[in-house]
């Protein structure tokens, strides 16, 4: 397996190249648009730079200078060669993101239901100046001695 093929198989590599094919981006812009850790992103940037796929450019603004990453000619050729893969990859990625968002939404709903159920079925009260604790769950009563 060539170094390029090995790189392309790594997590986030295609995402970085496809995002940079749209326009040059800074580190934080890439981090915010790709679902990988900052350390993994930094590693992929270093690997892509070593392979000659991307390069750093210094962009000066009125307030400061920023480093942006952009595709090199080699990077652009690589993206062109991946053209047929890109469409399917992006479709699958969008579908996966949709599934993940749905999963996160269902987890939040479940947490809210459980939290609401617990709040409505549990009553905790201090008795005798905090020495005894009474916990009522579903109309059943139990008393626990507080060990202070």
Q: Go through the domains of the chain in sequence order and give each one's CATH number.
A: 3-114 (1.10.10.10)
Mean of all residue pLDDT scores within the chain = 83
Q: What is the pLDDT of residues 108-148, one digit of tens each?
A: 888 888 888 777 766 555 555 555 555 566 544 444 444 44
d(CA 65, CA 13): 26
d(CA 1, CA 6): 6
CA angle 35, 9, 32 (to 5 degrees): 15
DSSP state of 72: -
pTM above 0.95, yes or no: no
d(CA 3, CA 25): 24
pLDDT of residue 35: 84
d(CA 78, CA 97): 25
Q: What is the pLDDT of residues 14-46, one digit of tens each?
A: 999 999 999 999 999 999 989 899 999 999 999
Q: Which two tokens mark 82?
A: 């991946």
């Amino acid at each position: 397996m060539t170094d390029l093929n090995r790189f392309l198989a790594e997590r986030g590599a295609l995402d970085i190249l496809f995002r940079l094919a749209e326009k040059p981006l800074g580190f934080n812009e890439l981090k915010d648009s790709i679902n990988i850790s900052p350390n993994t992103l930094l590693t992929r940037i270093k690997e892509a730079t070593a392979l000659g796929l991307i390069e750093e450019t210094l962009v000066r603004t009125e307030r400061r200078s920023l480093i942006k990453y952009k595709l090199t000619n080699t990077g652009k050729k690589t993206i062109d060669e991946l053209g047929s893969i890109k469409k399917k990859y992006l479709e699958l990625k969008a579908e996966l993101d949709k599934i993940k968002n749905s999963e996160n939404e269902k987890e939040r709903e479940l947490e809210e239901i459980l939290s609401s159920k617990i709040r409505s079925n549990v009553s905790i009260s201090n008795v005798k100046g905090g020495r005894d604790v009474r916990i009522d769950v579903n109309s059943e009563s139990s008393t626990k001695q507080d060990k202070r």
